[in-house]
């Protein structure tokens, strides 16, 4: 690249910087910028189009086109040459615009006189913001250098737009990150919340896009890249053997960090006047734009790696770490691309709500959100790009909708909804101490699911009769090392104290699948949900399970104790686990510890195979609890974490209900108490149908007990059963429509 063009470009950027420093209102600045660019590039026209909404571009400033067209001329994404630049996020450079495919003539602008056209996208990190255009009468193709220079200017404009340089009080321009935006996601956990955005990984803000000393900037970049290389190498040397996927990602990082092409492009950007961080971001933007259009999954993943790497580099250059020190607002709503269960637990109950861009309903992060009773919306596409720390946000967890920076009317409607829910909760409080007895005299035991000490205060307030499922893995997930026996015994003992003599069903450690312990060597399994998890780990490596069983016996200290094993798929897994427990009882007794006055040993029925186990299993088990989340995924062969397939199969599908009925019969035959503790037990219509199929014990999150009980109290299970049987006889796939209709007629 010629030194002269580089310095031209730098000169343009420093003039741009001076223009910005002059102050003035947003519109004035835009006008000055178009004037300056046309002047520097030697073109008659320079125009800036910005996106009004995700589909509409508006001419916001121009030098050369008719001034009356400003804020009047609009086009849709993809329409005309300008619209095409924005849609494809790629420059268009033509000597003869009117002959170009897609050209659209806009008479109000007077642009018919201009032949050559160069348009470049204004974008920030893959987010379209607008288009920067120069045009001239003379029929000429702009040189590569000119294209490049205009792209650099567009990059700076993007940063300035992001920083709000073109907006102000009463401006005609729409402000970035100031408008209300609504996101339609997927319900992760019901409930409503109003709070302020707290970003899990805040966006890096580039406050200094222009620099006049390229040498210093190249040096800064070089130093940061060196640091990055060292840290990638360190990460690689710490990866446990066998974790192929992690190595693959880090190798890709290393490849990019050592890539000459990547470095060279950034150095060229710096030579043209960008600061080191703006150069990194320019490359990152280009990679993100490519990511949207690349059909190949492997390539997309590599671009994703480059994106992550660029983020690391930006954090090194700007000093904005993962923790930017942004203060957590009073009513924090966590916004993140994704989050693991351990990280979510670290935030704990402080959070008013959680919104994830990715995530899945069956994931354990979602279960943690449920355990914490925090409204959760997942799959809210692009929210991490739109939201800023401190923005007002409303979560409608019942509909899976998120309102960011909502308008007054939305806020009012939302407050009304919250008030109505509070009134409903009051109604539930009035039935709290009543048994859940149906109109036909069947009493259903309602218990709660828990996993944290902090859940226990909900026991009396929800009206739960006990804890039907205590997930013990949450304590293991939050620690850097395996918790010690004494520590666990103390915790379990406190849980029993807090339950005040009510039954607590402790489920032994259920790890594997997405519940990865930070201190456990990750195993590279093709399908972890069907892999080495739960009781399979417990039986193959019994050390931790035995320690946990000892802790439970010690915690009971003579009190009754109830333990169940997860993911039991066949009889011998149950007998082996049970033998372990009985052996631990003997050992504890020999050590002089008090044994529980009563011990119940149960199994979770989470694989269809167990429903067909020999009768001996049902006789041996003191109780059985259906883990519907897992059972459903295996029954329908549909991953509980895969949003694409998960929702194809309704829990009220007649096949599933018939299967539940068979389990009820098998347990009744052997006189084995049966309960259901998956998430579906907490959904009133599902709970009602389960009760109609014969289940007499349901365990759910505390907030569901009121709504479920309220429906049970009003219902006659014989009638519900008739509706279900009629639907089954008709060959209906799901009984939901029939049951919902019937319920509607009842009110
Ligand atoms: C289930 O599978 O229904 C269950 C309760 O266990 P978890 O969700 O913890 O796998
Ligand atoms: Mg399970």
SS3 state at 672:
coil
Is 696:444 a contact under the CB 8 Å cutoff? yes
CA distance 54 to 77: 8
* Nearest Cα residue to 273 out of 158, 165, 155, 164: 155
Mean pLDDT of the residues in the chain: 87
Specify the CATH number for the domain of residue 501: 3.20.20.60
* Same structural domain, 510 and 628: yes
Specify the CATH number for the domain of residue 386: 3.50.30.10
Q: In 77-218, where do the E strands start and end? A: 92-94, 116-124, 127-136, 181-184, 186-189, 192-199
Lowest mean pLDDT: which of 507-516, 535-544, 625-634? 507-516
In a domain, 415, yes or no: no
CA distance 21 to 342: 46
Q: In sequence order, what are the residues at sequence separation of 6 or more whose Cβ sits closer than 8 angstroms to the Cβ of residue 219?
A: none
Q: What's this model's pTM, rounded to 2 decimal places?
A: 0.67
In a domain, 412, yes or no: no
SS3 state at 302:
helix
Q: Which residues are catalytic?
A: 364, 677
Which tokens go with 254?
């290393």
pLDDT recorded at residue 695: 98
Over 80: is that where the pLDDT of 22 sits?
Answer: no
Q: Return left, alpha or beta for 264; rule: phi > 0 is left, psi -120 to 50 is alpha, else beta.
A: alpha
Q: Is 510 a pocket residue for ligand 1 (Cβ < 6 Å)?
A: yes
Q: Give the confidence band of 1 by pLDDT, cuts at 50, 70, 90.
A: very low
Element (H, E) at 640: none
In the chain, what percentage of residues exceed pLDDT 70? Answer: 89
Quick one: DSSP state of residue 510?
-
| Structural domain boundaries, residue 26 | 3-162
Rounded mean pLDDT, 315-328: 71
Parallel, antiparallel or unpaired: strands 353-356 and 332-336: parallel
In a domain, 712, yes or no: yes
- Name residue 698's beta-bridge partners: 446, 676
Over 60: is that where the pLDDT of 190 sits?
Answer: yes
Q: Is 557 a pocket residue for ligand 1 (Cβ < 6 Å)?
A: no
Q: Give the confidence band of 736 by pLDDT, cuts at 50, 70, 90.
A: very high
Rounded mean pLDDT, 594-606: 98
Q: Pocket of ligand 1, candidates 630, 639, 663, 695: which has the most ligand atoms within 8 Å of its Cβ, to mutate?
A: 630
- Name residue 184's beta-bridge partners: 401
CA distance 279 to 210: 10
Tens of pLDDT along 411-449?
Answer: 998 888 888 888 888 889 899 999 999 999 999 999 999
Q: Give the confidence band of 170 by pLDDT, cuts at 50, 70, 90.
A: very low
Q: Give the confidence band of 475 by pLDDT, cuts at 50, 70, 90.
A: confident
Number of domains in the chain: 4
Q: Give the confidence band of 145 by pLDDT, cuts at 50, 70, 90.
A: confident
pLDDT recorded at residue 439: 97
Is 345:210 a contact under the CB 8 Å cutoff? no
* Same structural domain, 645 and 607: yes
CA distance 456 to 467: 9
Q: Residue ranges of the alpha helices (H) in 114-273?
A: 144-162, 214-238, 244-257, 260-271
For residue 628, the ligand 1 atom closest to its alpha carbon is 3
Q: Give the confidence band of 701 by pLDDT, cuts at 50, 70, 90.
A: confident
Rounded mean pLDDT, 534-550: 95
Specify the CATH number for the domain of residue 272: 1.10.274.10
Tens of pLDDT along 481-497?
Answer: 789 999 999 999 999 99
* Same structural domain, 196 and 248: no
Tens of pLDDT along 371-383?
Answer: 777 899 999 988 9
Q: How far is the CA of 534 from the centre of ligand 2 (A)?
A: 9
* Same structural domain, 238 and 303: yes
* Same structural domain, 372 and 258: no
Which tokens go with 87?
């849609």
Q: Give the confidence band of 171 by pLDDT, cuts at 50, 70, 90.
A: very low
In a domain, 168, yes or no: no
Tens of pLDDT along 717-730?
Answer: 999 999 999 999 99
* Same structural domain, 314 and 347: no
Is 63:46 a contact under the CB 8 Å cutoff? yes
The maximal CA–CA distance of the chain, rounded, in angstroms, is 99
The protein residue with its alpha carbon nearest to ligand 1, atom 1, reads 627
Over 70: is that where the pLDDT of 556 sits?
Answer: yes
* Nearest Cα residue to 397 out of 341, 340, 352, 349: 352
Phi, psi of 700 (to 5 degrees): -150, 175
In a domain, 169, yes or no: no
Which carries the bigger pLDDT value, residue 339 or residue 72?
Answer: 72
pLDDT recorded at residue 488: 95
* Same structural domain, 571 and 641: yes
Half-sphere exposure of 76 (CA within 13 A, CB side): 3
* Same structural domain, 488 and 394: no
Q: In sequence order, what are the residues at sequence separation of 6 or more whose Cβ sits closer than 8 angstroms to the Cβ of residue 156?
A: 13, 16, 209, 210, 274, 278
For residue 625, the ligand 1 atom closest to its alpha carbon is 5
Q: Give the confidence band of 6 by pLDDT, cuts at 50, 70, 90.
A: low
Rounded mean pLDDT, 158-187: 70
Q: Pocket of ligand 1, candidates 604, 608, 699: which has the most ligand atoms within 8 Å of its Cβ, to mutate?
A: 604
Q: In sequence order, what are the residues at sequence separation of 6 or more whose Cβ sits closer than 8 angstroms to the Cβ of residue 170?
A: none
Which tokens go with 556?
């009971």
Q: Give the confidence band of 299 by pLDDT, cuts at 50, 70, 90.
A: low
Closest ligand to residue 361's CA: 1
Q: How far is CA 267 from CA 144, 222, 230, in A?
A: 17, 9, 20
* Same structural domain, 309 and 335: no
Rounded mean pLDDT, 336-350: 79
């Amino acid at each position: 690249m010629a030194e002269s063009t580089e310095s031209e470009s730098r000169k343009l950027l420093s003039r741009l910087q001076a223009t910005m420093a002059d102050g003035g209102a947003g519109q004035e600045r835009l006008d000055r910028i178009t004037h300056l660019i046309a002047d520097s590039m030697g073109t008659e026209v320079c125009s800036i189009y910005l996106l009004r909404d995700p589909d509409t571009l508006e001419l916001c400033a121009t030098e050369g086109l008719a001034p009356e067209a400003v804020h009047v001329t609009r086009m849709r994404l993809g329409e005309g040459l300008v619209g095409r630049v924005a849609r494809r996020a790629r420059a268009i450079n033509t000597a003869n615009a009117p002959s170009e495919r897609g050209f659209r003539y806009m008479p109000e602008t007077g642009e018919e006189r201009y032949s050559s056209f160069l348009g470049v996208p204004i974008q920030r990190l893959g987010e379209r913001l607008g288009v920067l255009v120069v045009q001239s009468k003379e029929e000429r193709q702009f040189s590569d250098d000119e294209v490049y220079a205009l792209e650099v200017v567009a990059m700076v404009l993007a940063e300035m737009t992001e920083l709000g340089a073109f907006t102000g009080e009463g401006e005609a321009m729409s402000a970035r990150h100031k408008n209300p935006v609504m996101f339609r996601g997927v319900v992760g956990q019901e409930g409503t919340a109003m709070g302020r955005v707290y970003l899990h990984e805040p966006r890096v803000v580039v406050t200094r896009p222009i620099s006049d000393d390229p040498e210093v900037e190249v040096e800064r970049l070089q130093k940061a890249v060196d640091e990055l290389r060292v840290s990638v190498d360190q990460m690689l040397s710490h990866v446990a053997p066998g974790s192929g996927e992690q190595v693959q990602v880090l190798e890709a990082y290393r490849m990019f960090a050592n890539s000459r092409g990547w470095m060279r492009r950034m150095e060229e950007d710096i030579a043209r006047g960008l600061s080191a961080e703006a150069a990194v971001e320019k490359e990152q933007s280009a990679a993100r734009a490519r990511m949207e259009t690349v059909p190949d999954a492997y390539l997309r993943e590599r671009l994703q790696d480059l994106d992550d790497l660029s983020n690391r580099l930006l954090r090194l250059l700007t000093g904005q770490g993962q923790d930017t020190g942004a203060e957590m607002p009073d009513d924090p709503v966590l916004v993140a691309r994704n989050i693991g269960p351990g990280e979510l637990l670290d935030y704990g109950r402080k959070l008013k709500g959680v919104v994830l861009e990715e995530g899945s309903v069956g994931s354990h992060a979602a279960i943690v959100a449920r355990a914490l009773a925090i409204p959760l919306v997942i799959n809210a596409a692009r929210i991490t790009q739109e939201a800023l720390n401190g923005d007002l946000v409303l979560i409608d967890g019942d509909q899976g909708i998120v309102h960011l920076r909502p308008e007054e009317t939305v806020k009012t409607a939302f407050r009304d909804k919250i008030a109505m829910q509070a009134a409903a909760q009051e109604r539930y409080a009035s039935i709290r101490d009543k048994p859940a007895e149906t109109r036909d005299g069947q009493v259903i035991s309602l218990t709660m699911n828990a996993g944290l000490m902090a859940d226990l205060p909900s026991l009396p307030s929800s009206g739960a009769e006990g804890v039907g499922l205590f997930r013990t893995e949450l304590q293991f997930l939050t620690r850097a090392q395996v918790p010690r026996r004494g520590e666990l015994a103390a915790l379990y003992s406190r849980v029993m104290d807090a339950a005040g003599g009510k039954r607590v069903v402790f489920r032994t450690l259920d790890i594997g699948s997405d519940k990865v312990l930070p201190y456990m060597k990750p195993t590279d399994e093709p399908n972890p949900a069907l892999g080495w998890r739960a009781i399979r780990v417990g039986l193959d490596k019994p050390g931790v399970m035995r320690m946990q069983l000892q802790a439970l016996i010690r915690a009971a200290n003579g009190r009754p104790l109830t333990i169940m094993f997860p993911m039991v798929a066949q009889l011998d897994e149950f007998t082996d686990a049970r033998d372990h427990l009985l052996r631990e009882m003997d050992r504890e007794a020999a050590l002089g510890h008090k044994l529980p006055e009563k011990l119940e040993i149960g199994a979770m029925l989470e694989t269809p195979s167990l429903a067909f186990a020999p009768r001996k299993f049902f006789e041996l088990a003191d109780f059985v609890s259906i883990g519907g989340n897992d059972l459903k995924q295996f029954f329908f062969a549909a991953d509980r974490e895969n949003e694409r397939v998960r929702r194809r199969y309704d829990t009220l599908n007649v096949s599933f209900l018939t299967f539940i009925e068979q389990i009820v019969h098998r347990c009744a035959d052997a006189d084995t108490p049966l309960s259901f503790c998956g998430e579906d037990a907490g959904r009133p219509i599902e709970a009602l149908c389960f009760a109609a199929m014969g289940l007499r014990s349901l365990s759910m999150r505390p907030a569901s007990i009121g709504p479920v009980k309220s429906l049970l109290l009003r219902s006659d299970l014989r009638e519900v059963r008739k509706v279900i049987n009629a639907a089954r006889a008709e060959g209906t796939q799901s009984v939901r429509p029939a049951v919902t209709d019937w319920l509607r007629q009842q009110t």
